[in-house]
Amino acid sequence: MKFISNNSRILLGAVVGVAIGLLMAAHKDAAATHTGIYLAELLGGLFVDMLKMVMIPLVFTSIVVGIANLSAHQQIKRVWVITLLYSLTTMSLSVAIGVGAANLFAPGKGLNLAMFHEAMHGANSVQMSLAEFVAKFLHSLFVNPFAALAQGNVMAIVVFSLFMGVALVLGGDRYRNILALLQELFELSLRIVGWIMVIAPLGIMALLAKLIATQDTALLTTLLKFILVIFGTTLFHGLLVLPLLLYAVTGMSPLRFFRGAREALVTAFATSSSSATMPLTLRCTEQHLHVSPSITGFVVPLGAHLNMDGTALYEAAAALFVANLAGIELNLLQQLMVCATAMVSSIGAPGIPSAGMVTMAMVLQAVGLPIEAIAILLPIDRPLDTIRTVVNVEGDMIGCLVVQKLA
């Protein structure tokens, strides 16, 4: 199928996956559907496994090499500052949009917690205060690098790679062999990503088919208004706010951006994991959007963990939704508290499916909302996670372009 580009094959995979998923959902009890779900789970799982396999060497080498190259051009400080400022700005915008829309449309008004008694029964969500959360997050940063590499602990790998990168640069010429070795390891990992891309359309098809075939449609309909508010606001942020910011800073047209970013965005949608998508995020930003490897190598792995506009927006809006369900009116100060904790907890959330749900407990707790309500959100999280992961990844890619322009 050489005459079809990889981008188009991925889109085709997504469309066919949705169609198969709908077909299986319509024939839930058929034997073929059971086999279909099994195969989709296997194929989709293998695709994600392969991405995760190459992600770890890629994160390590891309950060070390990225820092070394940036320092060689004395750009490192500006890149740091602009990356942080960019993340704070876009995440503040996203929580403001989430809270604004939740106030405007008041999803959850008219429903109440008691209606979900059964769903909440037996829910055991983790309770954690803001202070505990921050302490846990800080402790998780400094870990034996071999354990972190072996366990796929991305944040700890990022931190260790930052140290290694700086040490390599300060060590200077003496370590040029190690730097060359890591550079080559990085290039080899990207080559493997290229191979994984060949089966990406199949993997994406399988992931989407399974996602759609296994949805609880009754709960989705009850919570339709909430789901629509989340979809609408996340798309508003991803299709309007971020592209406008990109255009204002770099002059790049949104169309050109989306064309270059497509592979990574569709993969983010299908996998619901910024971490698993990271190899493709790196590939698209470097090869299609032409950001320098030293900037992508630094900004993408960091952003995949820290910069999560979609998650921050979701957590803020979901907290207001839960307040409505519980019949609690949050005042302005409490809403600001929701915004702040939503930002902190999305920074702390790893880039894996439904990670935002785990850190959500902290946002609810910060303003005294019932944590058990997470049990209502969990069953509908998989479809919501698709779009917010896309916006998380989009934010990282636009971040690279903005940093490249301003640094």
Nearer to ligand ASP, 279 or 351 (CB): 351
Which residue in this structure is represented by tokens 């580009």? 5
SS3 16: helix
Does residue 231 bind ligand ASP (CB under 6 A)?
A: no
Give the range of 106-114, 123-131, 245-253, 272-280 binding ligand ASP by CB under 6 A.
Answer: 272-280
- Exactly one of 355, 363, 373, 376 binds ligand ASP (CB under 6 A); that residue is 355
Nearest to 92 by CA among 400, 347, 326: 347
Nearer to ligand ASP, 68 or 276 (CB): 276
Measured distance CA(266)–CA(6) in Å, rounded:
12
The string of DSSP codes covering 177-211 is: HHHHHHHHHHHHHHHHHHHHHHHHHHHHHHHHHHH
What residues numbered 371-390 form the site for ligand ASP, per CB under 6 A?
385, 388-389
Nearer to ligand ASP, 295 or 342 (CB): 342
The string of DSSP codes covering 33-66 is: HHHHHHHHHHHHHHHHHHHHHHHHHHHHHHHHHH
- Exactly one of 308, 364, 397, 407 binds ligand ASP (CB under 6 A); that residue is 308
Nearer to ligand ASP, 272 or 296 (CB): 272
Ranked by CB distance to ligand ASP, the top (closest) residue is 356
Give the range of 120-128, 254-262, 293-301, 351-359 binding ligand ASP by CB under 6 A.
Answer: 351-359
- Exactly one of 349, 361, 366, 380 binds ligand ASP (CB under 6 A); that residue is 349
Does residue 392 bind ligand ASP (CB under 6 A)?
A: yes
Report the interhelical angle of 254-271 vs 381-406 (nearest 10°): 140
Asked whether the beta carbons of 285 and 406 are under 8 A apart, the reply is: no
Nearer to ligand ASP, 296 or 311 (CB): 311
CB of 244 to ligand ASP, least distance (A): 22
Q: How many residues belong to the site for ligand ASP (CB under 6 A)?
A: 16
Instruction: Please tell me what DSSP assigns to residue 239.
Output: I
SS3 108: coil
CB of 407 to ligand ASP, least distance (A): 24
Does residue 303 bind ligand ASP (CB under 6 A)?
A: no
Does residue 311 bind ligand ASP (CB under 6 A)?
A: yes
**Which string of b and e fits 300-315 if b means at least 16 CB within 10 Å?**
bbbbbbbbbbbbbbbb
Measured distance CA(214)–CA(8) in Å, rounded:
26
CB of 381 to ligand ASP, least distance (A): 8
For the chain, report the end-to-end CA distance as a whole number of angstroms.
Answer: 41
Does residue 356 bind ligand ASP (CB under 6 A)?
A: yes
Q: Which two tokens stand for residue 171?
A: 């060590």
Tell me phi and psi for residue 353, to 5 degrees. Answer: -55, 135
Does residue 125 bind ligand ASP (CB under 6 A)?
A: no
Give the range of 109-117, 168-176, 257-265, 347-355 binding ligand ASP by CB under 6 A.
Answer: 347-355
How many Cβ atoms sit within 10 Å of the Cβ of residue 219? 15
Does residue 394 bind ligand ASP (CB under 6 A)?
A: no
Give the range of 89-97, 270-278, 331-339, 369-377 binding ligand ASP by CB under 6 A.
Answer: 270-278
Q: Which residues bind ligand ASP (CB under 6 A)?
A: 272-274, 308, 311, 349, 351-356, 385, 388-389, 392
